Amino acid sequence: MSMAVLSCEFLISPATCPANEVEAQVISLVEAVKCLDEGIDPPVLEPDALGRLIAAGTYPAEGLFKANLTKCQIETYSSKDVAKIVNALISKANDIFDVTEPREIEWKKKSVSPALVNTWPNRAKELEELFTQIAVQCELEGKAACVVHHCGGNPGPQFLFSGELSDAYPTPQIALPHLLSSTVQTHPTFQEYLATLDHHDLFARATDDFHLKLSFYVGALRKAKSQGLSPRDISLDNFDLGPEFSNSMEKNQCGPGGTFAGVLVDTISDLLAGHPKNPVSIFRKSAMSDEAKTHGTFTGYRTHVTKSGVALRLMFWRNDDGMLVLANVGPKQELVIEKP
């Protein structure tokens, strides 16, 4: 799995991106915080991110974000909220040097293509150092990493690092000098990074509701990407797990490691992406009724997970605001939808 490194440009992207991208960038920052707080593989920062932002005159305070947020009139987040989100990331996250082995390295030559430009003083050198670190840790430690990076001056999405490593300490287990060539991948949003992950692997490693949700969300992003759709309508916040969902999943061999785990993950991912694998029907009040079962503002629905054998179904609720709650998994004959 590729580790996500958050660049300075990504951290302040709501202040610098076009107005029509502001909301997506804010959501990206929010999701990065959630994965930092709860995730199995938390994102890290580029080295000395806060110091570099201060030196560039872009300290992430409320005033930095105010003008751009005013243009796009986002109601969900204020410029003060965005500043808090960014500073939460900076204060909580490790930087890349905290999680990789420090090395003293000498190069005979090295380069990055396309050539980096200074979007602020010394920025090209800082980015080259970051890409160098990623290329080295991939080559010498087998730790893959990518950069969540939103920048008009150095847009990516790929940068080719090439160099001749002449010496290093601690001494690596390779013959020196060593020619190194590595592609560093960048993603303009945290969503796009998540869409590169393996949702089945995330599900298999899930230990709580957040990680279950994350696996379904990543699967939905991957499905949307495969269909050429925008992921902007898919969010961690527009679906949830009902109180009985996890228990019903385990009971019906759909939990991590279960017989039907893979097909359940794909069923939910496709549903969240708006491309359900099987037809979706209302969950009726009774076998003799054509009326949909409701609970407050929610309407009940069902769709097949498997069609043969035990014929498992997924029951879920949805309201007019688009909020979806995964209620339970159960065999067809049970005719039960649990409360949202």
pLDDT in tens, 187-245: 999 999 999 999 999 999 999 999 999 999 999 999 999 988 877 778 999 999 999 99
Which comes out higher in pLDDT, residue 225 or 326?
A: 326
Query: What is the predicted pLDDT for the residue at 101?
Result: 78
Q: What is the mean pLDDT of residues 1-20?
A: 94
pLDDT over 90 (residue 186): yes
Q: Do residue 53 and residue 115 come from a single domain?
A: yes
Q: Do residue 271 and residue 176 come from a single domain?
A: no
Q: Is residue 339 part of a domain?
A: no
Q: How far apart are CA 265 and CA 220, in angstroms?
A: 10
pLDDT over 80 (residue 102): no
Q: How far apart, in Å, are the Cα atoms of 16 and each of 120, 187, 239?
A: 13, 16, 30
Q: What is the mean pLDDT of residues 88-107?
A: 91
| 264-300 pLDDT per residue, tens | 999 999 999 999 999 999 999 887 888 999 999 999 9
Q: How far apart are CA 133 and CA 112, in angstroms?
A: 12
Which comes out higher in pLDDT, residue 141 or 245?
A: 245
pLDDT over 80 (residue 309): no
Q: Do residue 278 and residue 153 come from a single domain?
A: no
Q: Do residue 157 and residue 221 come from a single domain?
A: no
Q: What is the mean pLDDT of residues 22-44?
A: 93
Query: What is the predicted pLDDT for the residue at 1?
Result: 74
Total domains in the chain come to 2
Residue after which a domain boundary falls, among 144, 167, 192: 192
Q: Do residue 223 and residue 161 come from a single domain?
A: no
DSSP 242: -
Tell me the backbone φ, ψ of residue 329, rounded to 5 degrees.
Answer: -115, 140
Q: How far apart are CA 267 and CA 247, in angstroms?
A: 18
Query: What is the predicted pLDDT for the residue at 75?
Result: 81
Per-chain mean pLDDT for the chain: 94
Q: Do residue 230 and residue 180 come from a single domain?
A: no
Q: Do residue 326 and residue 222 come from a single domain?
A: yes
Query: What is the predicted pLDDT for the residue at 333?
Result: 87
Q: In terms of DSSP bridges, do strands 294-295 and 298-304 run parallel, antiparallel, or are they unpaired?
A: antiparallel
Q: How far apart are CA 105 and CA 241, in angstroms?
A: 48
Residue after which a domain boundary falls, among 161, 192, 223: 192
Query: What is the predicted pLDDT for the residue at 84?
Result: 98
| 40-90 pLDDT per residue, tens | 789 999 999 999 999 999 999 999 999 999 988 788 899 999 999 999 999
Query: What is the predicted pLDDT for the residue at 124?
Result: 95
Tokens for 241, please give them: 């797990």
The residue among 237, 209, 215 whose CA lies nearest residue 322 is 237
Q: In terms of DSSP bridges, do strands 44-45 and 3-6 run parallel, antiparallel, or are they unpaired?
A: parallel
Measure the CA angle with vertex 156, ends 153 and 161; round to 5°.
110
Q: Do residue 33 and residue 103 come from a single domain?
A: yes
pLDDT band (50, 70, 90) for residue 312:
very high
Q: Do residue 284 and residue 179 come from a single domain?
A: no
Residues of the chain above pLDDT 70, percent: 100
Which comes out higher in pLDDT, residue 100 or 157?
A: 157
Structural domain containing residue 314: 199-334
Q: Do residue 40 and residue 178 come from a single domain?
A: yes
Query: What is the predicted pLDDT for the residue at 12?
Result: 98
Query: What is the predicted pLDDT for the residue at 156?
Result: 83
Residue after which a domain boundary falls, among 174, 192, 210: 192
Q: Is residue 184 part of a domain?
A: yes
Neighbour tally for 316: CB within 10 Å:
26
Q: Is residue 340 part of a domain?
A: no
Range list of β-strands (E), the chain: 3-6, 44-45, 104-113, 145-148, 158-169, 178-187, 239-241, 280-282, 294-295, 298-304, 312-318, 324-331
Query: Omega into 172 within 30° of 0, i.e. cis?
Result: no
Alpha-carbon torsion (71, 77, 81, 83), positive or negative = negative
